[in-house]
Chain A
Amino acid sequence: MQDLVNAVADMMEDEAMALTKKYVEQGVPALQIIDAYKDALSIIGKRFEECKYFVPELILAGEMMKAATEIIKPAMKGGQSNVEAPTLGRFLIGTVEGDIHDIGKDMVHMLMDINGFEVRDLGVDVPAQRFWDEYKEFQPDIIGMSGLLTLAFESMKQVADGLKAMGVRDKVKVIIGGGQMDEHACKYIGADAFATDAVAGVNICKKWVS
């Protein structure tokens, strides 16, 4: 299915959708088609790192993934998913309390998912208490906090301080993301790393679990 991989990787949306429909109709297993998308996303991620692709391509890739999932869904047998269970680790993400920005968070969600993490996305304007409660229930290996506004610094610090108070800070990695994040913010908040773009953040997470 190299033609499908190439169509997705080269941002040829109409062709990618047509090929996806064709392969589903031909009875190609859902898992194989999803693997083709994963390969394409891997190429897209590399091109992003090489500064050939940027936000438009990540967004369009996400849309193609969503549309493809809708096309493939009916072909999934019985009630169980044919999709491979995530293996790399558990990732909890949310935009912190007071902040409603979500585009960067959504890109990270998609990339972490496609890279084999089990992702739980808490949405936006997430209070610290919800991060702590979800930590207890989901037991993530990594917590990602997103925020664009300066008030995010305090919200993120509150979450990190709470993890310390719970006695679990050393059991989980914390990464912060957003346009104003830097080493000063990272140190103040007590995070393990910061990222100002989605692909860089995902690469940090992959290194942590490897």
Chain B
Amino acid sequence: MIAGWENMSSSQRQEAFLAKWASGEGIEFAGDEARASYQYRAGLIMDAVKLKKKPDRVPVVPLVTFAPIGLYGYSAKQAMYDPHILGKVCLDYTRDYDVDATSIPPMVMHGPALEVLGYHLYKWPGHGIKDEQGYQFVEKEYMKAEDYDHFIADPTDYWFRVWFPRTHSSLEPLAQMPPLYGTMELPMAAPWLCTLGAPPIQEAYKALLEAGRISFEWIQALGPYMGQILSSGYPMYAGSATKAPFDVLGDSFRGTTQLMMDLYRRPQKVLDAVDRLVPLMISLGVGGAVANNNPLVFIPLHKGADGFMSDEQFTKFYWPSLKKVIIGLAENGCMPCCFVEGGYNQRLEHLAEVPVGECAFIFDRTDMARAREILGGKSCIGGGFPVSLIMTGNAQQVEAETKKLLEAAAGDGGYILSIGCAMDEAREHTLKAFIQAGKKYGKY
């Protein structure tokens, strides 16, 4: 634990955790040059999120998911079924494209574990979609309206005994488990223990254990590649991930359609549910960041974008719980890095409510000049480069657009150059042009 932690403010804790991360402490670097490069790159990100005026240059951090896989001639399926392909591709991409931070390889996940679980929250290559495509979310009403009270009262119990069975076909028998609580007393423990022995429940736990075993082997294979990325001098974006409570409900539980109508049909249940999720989302983000010694916490924002709801609905249902998560992460020394999908042109004034220098916002379709105007000096901003140019433009167009974006948004610090979406695909010449232009025109 960092000395003096208890007496530090949120901002001081963030600075201390960022400094620890940027120092590369705990990483066995390939050499002094690699250490220096890591400290420089992580330092650029640290300077940006902490709003240092006139740092050396803008950090260049394109967000990628499956893009590196396609760039090196592999299919998404190959990467999801062979950790050596995934690891090598991520390592090669990071070095060849010389980004300032790279995405986390485990985000691509491992097909065999999903098969054992009978996972159907997403389709993935070879399972419902083509081998070449990255996985896709299957949004449905996994949580029924009558489930709200259970979810609010005991989210973990609901998650394990109701939601798992609805999203993982191998885990359906878990719906027959009683809640844990009888185990507090010997005379009351029998129902739980006896049900555990029922053959269908045994099979469900076996599936869980097998998925865990496969995943453990997978990360043992993938881990060394991640180690090489770090030891070569490249930090990772980010240390962990969490979500806005409203998005948890809207993406994985109620589904967009049902949740949007819940705003009218049962507004208080929505408010109670998002509030209940706040401490859970904070501890999810903090736990991963501490485990990985990386304070950056990735938070993709989905359902609160312009057009998705009114300002009044955003203010009432979406923002308060997200703001609490942001503040809670900062209190624990983590740096929330929101990835603001869609447009937030109507929302920027709300984002400005966050304490100064305690959160970063990477944007997608938001007007970046306006983002600079409203958030400059308050929060680190980033992104705003259209992925359509990477996919359909040429190198000259990309260079010109990058230069224009930096002029509008980089200000005197507090900016991360990124693309408006986490890329499932990319093209070599335009992506390289983007990175090179970012380094050329991003000097302060």
List A residues at the B interface (Cβ < 8 Å). Answer: 11, 13, 51-56, 59-60, 63, 98-100, 103, 125, 149-151, 153, 179-182, 184-185, 187-188, 196-197
Contact = CB atoms under 8 A, between A and B. Distances in A.
B310 interface: yes
Interface stretch (B255-263, B275-283, B371-379): B255-263
Given A11-B264, A59-B260, A150-B421, A185 B308 contact: no
B424 A149 contact: yes
Interface stretch (B130-138, B165-173, B176-184, B226-234): B130-138
A77 to B, nearest CB: 32
Interface stretch (B95-103, B104-112, B381-389): B381-389
Given A150-B423, A150-B424, A56 B313 contact: yes
A99 B138 CA distance: 11
A51 B314 CA distance: 14
A13 B256 CA distance: 18
Contacts of A182: 386, 388
Given A56-B309, A98-B129, A98-B133, A150 B261 contact: no
A60 B267 CA distance: 14
Contacts of B138: 100
Interface in B238-292: 256-257, 260-261, 263-265
Interface string B331-349: 0000000000110000000
A100 to B, nearest CB: 6
Contacts, number: 81
Contact of A103 (B256, B341, B389): B256
A100 B421 CA distance: 18
Interface in B346-400: 364-365, 386-389, 391-393
A180 B421 contact: yes
Given A60-B260, A98-B129, A149 B136 contact: yes
B224 interface: no
Given A54-B309, A55-B307, A55-B309, A184 B389 contact: yes
Contacts of A188: 388, 391-392
A44 to B, nearest CB: 13
A111 B256 CA distance: 18
Nearest to A103: B256
A143 to B, nearest CB: 20
Contacts of A180: 387-388, 421
Interface in B114-155: 123, 129-130, 133, 136, 138
Contacts of B123: 100
B425 interface: yes
Given A13-B264, A59-B260, 5 more contacts: A54-B309, A54-B310, A100-B136, A153-B388, A184-B389
